[in-house]
Chain A
Amino acid sequence: MYIWRTGRGRLGGEIARLRRDMDDLVGALAGGGRTWLRSPWRETRLFPLLNVRETSDAFIVSSEIPGMKKEDLEVKIEGDTLSLRGERPPETIGDEASFHRRERAVGTFQRSLTLPGNVDRDRVNATYRHGVLTVRLFKETKSAPKEIKISAE
């Protein structure tokens, strides 16, 4: 799906995470069951979120992925599966600098989506504007329903 290392979340999320980590720790100390000890530096999140719309001739997939360079975004279509992959490198701030707040996520992500119909792989276009990726996939014209006439002998 998506592996996405995150920075510090907002306070509500941090408290929930802290509680979860404490529960894990208590569980591990009590020897009860198998607990997955989470690395504090790595978290999984579902990212990026996708919106999909369907028109008569195309599927439109859009996603908010701000602050990417075009070259760091990869859009691939295999059969009826669309996959998005990319990396948002951490901000380079120099040795002298320090973070006061870090909510914006950084890291690599990958998501794939199976479309409800076949698409024409030669007619896919992707645009990235103001941090929003929009992929327009035209439906395969071959798979459009066609009525077969029955001839009487």
Chain B
Amino acid sequence: MAEDTVEITQKDQVPAQAGEPTYEGAYFTPAVDIYETVNEIVLLADMPGVEADNLDVDLNDDELIIVGRVNAVDDEGAELLSEYRVGNYYRNFRISDVVDRRSISASLSDGVLKIVLPKAAKAVPRKIPISVG
């Protein structure tokens, strides 16, 4: 394919002013997909290298905060090529009233975090049956 420029899939570092809690090490912004179905909003985040034990998903008021820490440090041998940096992940989202906060669930598989935010009953479209009188 004749392309004059090739974009590099980079990890974006979290800006220092983002109001993140101070932890050791570099923080990156994970790439995120958000989609909405009839009953729920689903959030998927790429967080390679994060184990379930090192992942925190917190909901404070309207703010959903995702923090993933990467423990594995490769320091075996000498570095020949370094195209990406290994680090932790941080991202926050604002949750609207549409979401039923009590039943949010999260799962992690192969470095992808999936958060399911079910819609509150009032936000789910409902067809009202008409009874014939």
Contacts and interface: CB of A to CB of B under 8 A. Distances in A.
Interface residues of B, number: 44
A131 B35 contact: no
Contacts of A56: 77
A102 interface: yes
Given A59-B80, A96-B38, A43 B31 contact: no
Nearest to A115: B80
B8 A98 contact: no
A101 interface: yes
A64 B48 contact: yes
Interface in A1-47: 1, 3-4, 7, 10, 13, 20, 36, 43-47
Nearest to A43: B7
A45 B46 CA distance: 17
A48 to B, nearest CB: 7
B35 A91 contact: yes
Chain B CB within 10 A, most for which of A7, A47, A48, A67: A67
Main secondary structure of the interface of B (DSSP, over half): loop
A104 interface: yes
Interface string A55-73: 1101110101111110000
Nearest to A42: B1
A105 interface: yes
B35 A53 contact: no
Contacts of B1: 3, 44
A93 B34 CA distance: 11
A98 B80 contact: no
Contacts of A105: 9, 31
B61 interface: no
A92 B111 CA distance: 18
Nearest to B29: A10
Given A53-B80, A60-B76, A130-B110, A94 B50 contact: no
Contact of B9 (A20, A48, A94): A48
CB-based closest 3 A-B pairs? A131-B111, A66-B111, A55-B77
Given A45-B8, A55-B77, 5 more contacts: A46-B8, A47-B9, A91-B33, A99-B33, A128-B110
